[in-house]
Amino acid sequence: MTVIRPTDPCSICSEAVEPHTESYCNACGRLFHLNQREDLPGRDCGTVSLSETHLALVFMCSACLEGPEEAVSPTLDAVLDLSEAAQTAGMSEAELARAAEAGRVSHRRTAGGALLFERAAVEALLRTRGQA
C-alpha cells in the first residue's frame, strides 16, 4: 500500500504541496496543488467544483481536466476527410455527406467547405449500419 504524505510533490508541477494546498484528484487519485485557503497564498494545479448529482466536491487536476492520458485523443490520424471516411464507412461520398447533413454522424466543416470526420464517429456509424 502506498502512503502518500503531504510532503510528496504535486503530480502536475512536481513542487512540494503545502497542507493547505493538498488535494487529491477524483479522477486519477494523484496529489495536486489546490489552494483551499483564501487567506494564504497558494498555487492551483487543478480545480474543484460542486457535483450537482452527488452533492459533493469534485477535485480535478490539470492533467485530467485536459483529458485522461489513457484516452484516445483525436490526432491528425483520427481525422478523416470525406473520401477517406466514405471508404472507412463503406459508403459513397454522397451518402456519407447526406448522413452528415442529417446529423447522423458528427462532423466538422472547414472554412473551405470540406467535410472532416473523426474516425471513431465513422466507425460508430458503420456499426449502426451493420445492425440495420
**Residues engaged in binding Zn ion (CB under 5 A):** 10, 12-13, 25, 27-28, 33, 45, 61, 64
What are the start-end ranges of the H helices in the chain?
Answer: 62-65, 82-89, 93-101, 119-131
**Strand ranges (E), 1-132:** 22-24, 31-33, 46-51, 56-61, 79-81, 107-109, 115-118
Residue entry with cell 502512503: 3
Total Cβ atoms within 10 A of residue 112: 5
- Toward Zn ion, which CB reaches closer, 61 or 115? 61
14 vs 110, which CB is nearer to Zn ion?
14
Strands 115-118 and 46-51: unpaired
By beta-carbon proximity to Zn ion, the closer residue of 28 and 124 is 28
CB of 75 to Zn ion, least distance (A): 21
The CB-of-132 to Zn ion minimum distance in angstroms stands at 40
Least Å from the CB of residue 47 to Zn ion:
11
With respect to Zn ion, which residue has the nearer C-beta, 17 or 121? 17
Report which of 42, 1, 51 is spatially closest to residue 23, judged by C-alpha positions: 42
Question: Could you tell me the smallest distance in angstroms from the CB atom of residue 23 to Zn ion?
Answer: 10
